[in-house]
Structure formats: structure tokens, C-alpha cells
A and B are shown apart, each in its own frame.
Chain A
Amino acid sequence: MSVITASGLTKAYGNNVVLNDISFSLPEGKIIGLFGPNGCGKTTLMKILSGLIHDYSGEVLVNGNKPGEKTKAITAYLPEQTFVHDWMRNIDAVDYFNDFYSDFDKNKALEMLKRFGLSEKQKSKTMSKGMQEKLLLSLVMSREASLYILDEPMGGVDPATRGAILDFIMQNYSQKSTLLISTHLINDLESVFNHALFIGKGSVLINDSVENITAGGKSIEDVFKEVFSNVW
């Protein structure tokens, strides 16, 4: 069964067409890598799925529904940038999620904060980018969501911590859920993906299982280089 379906999806910023009439469906219960070069529309696609971009044409369905109130209740989205209010302390952010998401596990979130060495009383605006990313990850991964959308989850984290964060994601996501992760750090994450979606120049270039993609003995990163050296 498909958790995400897009048909004829087109999104342009002025004259710049980022997604050009693309259609695809993504399977449920998989860890899906979303790959593509900078500016190819990965973040735009994730924002559309999360209900943050509305002026697109075509149809997008998440669990059979258009992005909106219903899909937001089952989707946990981690954007590329930090998003908590400046006035919030870490505990306020945890309480905020606890108030609005019925699938949020407050104890799990507090445990995660402790594990990351983040104080409950610390204000988000006084934290470094890496610390803020850890906070957001703790919040998002403490939900029992059907779909996790993670946009560059390790973008601002030092290489030493990446492995720990990856373990953290793998341990904390609900096993029945689908994970859609966009990343440029293909090497670090390659082992966890079981499906991949490659987009570039507004089109879907590959949408297949990792097993099929790497059948010829190539790694995902090799395939990425091969595909995008021709496209760009």
C-alpha cells in the first residue's frame, strides 16, 4: 500500500519550475531516501507533504488524504531549520508538543533531552544550531507518527555525533511507520534505506527499492553520482 501518492504534481517559484508534472507513489512501512542535488525540489516536496506549501498544481495524497488537518495529525515533520519560539525553554517545547499531538510521548522526549545532554530549563535561542537540531529531533521522534518526514536531519551536526543520531532515529521511530529522509550524507545513511526516490530537473529519475537499485553491485552514492552527473 502507498503512504504517499503524487500525480501531475507541479510547483514553480516564478519562472523556475521546481517540480514539473511529477507522479510517484511511495510504499508504506519503509525507510525512504529522498535524493537529489541542491535546488531540485526536495524541501519543496517535503513542505507540500507537510501542508506548508499550498499553491501547487496536481494532486498529493498522504494516507489517502490531501495535506491538511488530518494528515498533520499523523505526520511528524522535521524541517531543515529550527522552528521553536525564541521564548521557549526546552520544557516549554516539550509541553507544546504534548498539548497538540495525541501521539506524543512526553516521558520519551524528556529522556531524549537528557540523553542529548540538553537541560529542560535552557532557552532555545541560547542553544547552538547543533543543540537545537537535537531538541527538534527529540520532539519529532517522540511522536508515534505514521509518517516521519526528516529534511536533512544531520545537516548541522558534527561527524562524531552523526552515528549517534542515526542510531537514535532508528531506535525511536515507530516500526510500522514510514520514514522519508532527505540527505546529502548518503554514505552515513546508506545502510538504513530500503527505498529511494531520486529527483532532479523537476522530474522523478528513480523510484525503486534499494535492493533493485544496488543490484549491479553499486552503492546508492555511486548511483547518485552516475545519475546526477548526466542531469546537471
Chain B
Amino acid sequence: MMIKQISVFLENQPGALYAMTGILAQNQIDMRAFSLAETSDFGIARIIVDDVYKTTTVLKDAGYVHNITPVLGVAIPDVPGGLNKVLQALTDARVNVEYMYAFLGGRDVDHAYMIFRVADSAAATAALGKRGIKTVEQEEIDKL
């Protein structure tokens, strides 16, 4: 039920992010979602890619500290109140959202896709399923 997010440690200084995207570009890796969390000293780049194995391999070879984090990909009907319904389902199930961010350029115009990092993934998936809200598998990412 989960998508594999790659989280990468970066220093917060000019060129640090550029160096990482450079490695992805050189290796023809397609990013599907991206978010950045930062403090004044360092940041965490969170990325969803088309080829997880290749990405982790090239990042490791380049000396990046990173890990794979399971996250939920959620298809949200692109209508007013769409996100609200998702959050209501999670709230009712008492699932805490640690962070969330939007997908890049989905081809499906009826839905907005979002990534959720939650404390209890199983409970979240069950709660969303019960309300008929669709979650996205790793294999489906390419089609979005």
C-alpha cells in the first residue's frame, strides 16, 4: 500500500541541492514528487522517483546519507473540500500526519495527488479505504 520515499541529508548552503539534482539528472532519474524541509544548518530532501533502486545506488556512490521511508500516496478528488475529507478520515482514525506535500504534474486531471507521512500507515490506509479514498501503489507512480 506504500510508496517508497527517498530522504536525503543535505547541508543548507548554496549549491548543495544543485549537486544532488545534478546526480539525478546525470543518471536520467525522473522525480515525481519533491519536498524540502530545512533548518538553518541542514535540510532533508524528500523525493519520489521512478527508479528507487537506481537512485539509492547513485546517491550512495556519491556519498549521500539517505534512507527509504514508506509514505502514503493519496488520490484526492480535485474539488473543493477534497483534502478536507482525507484529513477528516485520518482525524477520525486518530492518525497523526507528520508531513505532507503535493505530487508534481499528475496527468489525471480529476485528482490531486499528495504524499502523506503518517505515524501509523496501516491505520491510515484502512481509514481512507473505508471512505472510498484511493491510495497509490509504487508501481502506479509512472502512470500518474
A binds B: no
**B positions within 8 Å CB-CB of A:** none
